[in-house]
Structures are given as C-alpha cells and as structure tokens.
Structure 1
Amino acid sequence: MNNFKFQISNFKNNKGFTFIELLTVAAVIVVVGVMIVAVIASSLRGSNRSNNVSDIRERGTFILSQMSKTLSYAKSFDGVKVNAGDSYTADCTVSVVPPPPPAQYKYIRFTSFDLGQTTYSCTTDNIASNGANLINTANMSVSECYFTCTQSGVSDSPQIDIHFTLSKNPTSTFIENRISTPFQTSVSFRNN
C-alpha cells in the first residue's frame, strides 16, 4: 500500500491562469477604475461649480456695493434715461393713482462731491461706469440689467433700484460651469 498513488484529478499541474480567470480579473479592474475616475471627476466638477458660484457672488456683491456707495453719497442726482440718445430726466415722480410699474432705465447719471460726473450704464451684456466695464467680459456677462427711479415728490430724494443678473461662462459646454445669479438693491440719495 505504500506504493499506491492516489490521484484526485487528471489535470496536468500547469502553472498559470486560464483565459476566463484573466478576463474576470481584467473586468474587475476596469469596473473599479471606472468607479474611481467617476468619483474624482464628480469631485472636481463640484469644486469647479463651487468656485464659479463664489466668483459670481463676489463680483456681484462688489458691483452692488460700489454702486450703492457712490449713489448714496453723491452730491446730486442728474437723472436717468432709457436709451443712449435720450436726454436725462431727474424727475421720477408719478402722479397717477395707482402708480404704474416703474420704468426700467438703462442709464443713471450723478455728480460726486469732487464735481465729477459718473454715468452707470446697462448694455446688452455689460454694466459699466463711465464706459469702463465693471465685469470681466471674457468669462462673465450681465443680463436683465436696469435701474428704476421712484420719488414721492419733486423735492424728495429719489430712490434708485439696481437690478442685474450676472452670469459666468454662459457659453460653456459643461452645465456646472454656467452660473447665473440675480442681484438687486435699493439706494436713496443722502445729500440730494
């Protein structure tokens, strides 16, 4: 009985892997790799969107802050107008009851205490101060930009409402890069 060899299988003792084993391992590696890439891509896209939202909020808040300060501390209100060719009107009173919705003006002009005149303008895709862009037009644009002017009486200071929507990367192919945020504030002249 010592010479008896017990053989469980007839397979040869080959060292290596079968084709099915190799395909299975390759499929598992591909699936894990795709999952890792998806997690990293999602994280980067979320980070990119967060940065864009932060940029828009920062720029829009800065524009509103600058416009509010210069308007509220201006020496005088010189008027508003709808079109570039129109003349400025400084009378924003409405005598009709009930009052209609305020007109949406594209230009507002005022004089500061250094006697310099400043004009804020809303164009098709930009907002400017004396012609200087307040945004980087390479990757941001302005839409729905207008000013409203209301006044209780001719001798009262006008209240100016500033409205605009700031968009970043409006033509980007990735949806997370296209961000739009509306901004608005009301300003009363303190020295008028």
Structure 2
Amino acid sequence: MKNKKGFTLIELLVAVAIISGLGTVLAQAFFTTTRSNTKVERLTDVKQNGEYALALIERMVRNARTITATCTQDGSVSTPSAAVVAPDGGETTIGCVLDGTVTRIASQSSSGTEYFTSNAVTLGGDSCDADSLVFYCTSIAEVPKGLKVTFQLSQKGTPVDQFEKASTTFQTSISLRSQ
C-alpha cells in the first residue's frame, strides 16, 4: 500500500474557498459595525446639541416677562427669531447667528452672544436666511403668551456616504410662566 501524504488539489481549492468566504463575511460585518458606530456617535452629538438648545430656549421663554415677536391673530406667521424681556427688564433675542460658515442657535443681548449649539452642528444652509429655525406664536396678536419652536440640526459638512449623515428635527411649545 501506498502511503499518501499531502492534500489533493480539490481539497486545497475547497479550503481556500471556505476561508476566503468567511474572510469576506467577517470583513463586511466589521465595516458595517464601524459605520453604524460612526453614525450613532454623530447622531448622539446632534441630539445632545438640540436638546441642550431646546432646554435653554425653553428656560428663557418660560421665565420671561414678555415675548416680543410679530404675531397674527391666528398665530399663523412664523418668525426666524424671538425676543424675550427678562424679569430684570433686559431684552434678549433668540435666533440664528452665522458663526464663520456655521449657522448656530444663539441668544444675543447687551451682554453679548451666547451660543446654544456647538460648531460641529448646523441649522443648515449657508446663511441664516436658509436655516431651519422657526418660531410660531401660539396666542393672539400683540400679546404672545407662548411660542412653538421648530428647528432641524445636522452635522457640519457633507459626509462621503449619505448613510453617515446625522440630522434630527426638534420641536416644542413653551408658555410664559408669568401669564
């Protein structure tokens, strides 16, 4: 009897095919997981910025003495910014501010500008005219007692793959505490 040592060509081809198939599946799983993690991180950053901005806007409006905004009788007119008069009498305008090339939510008062969002996210557009921040009056004309705030935040820049784009819409309604 002959003693066979080694493998036949067919056995080697089958082994190589199985190993390469497993390698391809593992590589795809790795890259899919990496892409998903990147998207989750970006989306988390966008959500944190949006929730923080909403909380600051809500606190400022709720504690304000009055809201000065252009409102119609039915509250159908939207405005890109809203001014609130604080209990101490100081007026603060909340709206979009162009910071370099990034449109950000900020408040502007006599003491300066306070940004509510980081420069890693944007309201969209190249200018504040094209941004997504809108205030709606939720009461009668000339005496606004509340605002509805809507905006969309996106990550800054354009990702190579549309799958990686992180964007979220935020919305809330706020009533004055003092009225």
TM over 0.5: yes
Aligned to 1:141: 122
In 2 relative to 1, CA 134–153 (structure 1 residues): closer, same or farther, beyond 3 Å?
A: closer
Instruction: State the shift of 1:68 in Å.
Output: 0.7
8 Å CA contact 2:56, 2:116 repeated in 1: no
Partner of 2:123: helix, strand, or coil?
Answer: strand
Aligned to 1:174: 161
How many residue pairs get aligned? The number is 164
TM-score (structure 2 length as normaliser) = 0.75
Match for residue 117 of structure 1 among 77, 91, 102: 91
Partner of 1:60: helix, strand, or coil?
Answer: helix
Partner of 1:121: helix, strand, or coil?
Answer: strand
8 Å CA contact 2:53, 2:105 repeated in 1: no
CA separation in 2, counterparts of 1:71 and 1:190? 8
Q: How does 1:148-167 map to 2 (within 5 A)?
A: 148-152=136-140, 154=142, 156-167=143-154
> Which amino acid in 1 is paired with 2:51?
T
8 Å CA contact 1:73, 1:112 repeated in 2: yes
Q: What runs of 5+ residues in structure 2 fail to find an aligned partner?
A: 125-131
**Structure 1: 4+ residue segments shifted above 6 A:** none
Partner of 2:152: helix, strand, or coil?
Answer: strand
CA separation in 2, counterparts of 1:17 and 1:161? 74
> Which amino acid in 1 is paired with 2:45?
D
> Given the alignment of the two structures, is residue 127 of structure 1 paired with residue 105 of structure 2, yes or no?
yes
8 Å CA contact 1:48, 1:176 repeated in 2: no
Partner of 1:126: helix, strand, or coil?
Answer: strand
CA separation in 2, counterparts of 1:167 and 1:46? 17
In 2 relative to 1, CA 121–169 (structure 1 residues): closer, same or farther, beyond 3 Å?
A: closer
Aligned to 2:27: 37
Partner of 2:78: helix, strand, or coil?
Answer: coil
Aligned to 2:50: 60
Aligned to 1:184: 171
TM-score (structure 1 length as normaliser) = 0.71
Instruction: State the shift of 1:171 in Å.
Output: 0.7
Instruction: State the shift of 1:141 in Å.
Output: 1.3
CA separation in 1, counterparts of 2:114 and 2:159? 25
CA separation in 2, counterparts of 1:153 and 1:108? 14
Per-residue CA deviations over 1:10-39 (Å, capped at 9, x if unaligned) read: xx7563334443333222211111111222
Identity of aligned residues (%): 27
Q: What runs of 5+ residues in structure 1 fail to find an aligned partner?
A: 1-6, 81-88
Instruction: State the shift of 1:188 in Å.
Output: 1.8
CA separation in 2, counterparts of 1:179 and 1:163? 17
In 2 relative to 1, CA 107–157 (structure 1 residues): closer, same or farther, beyond 3 Å?
A: closer
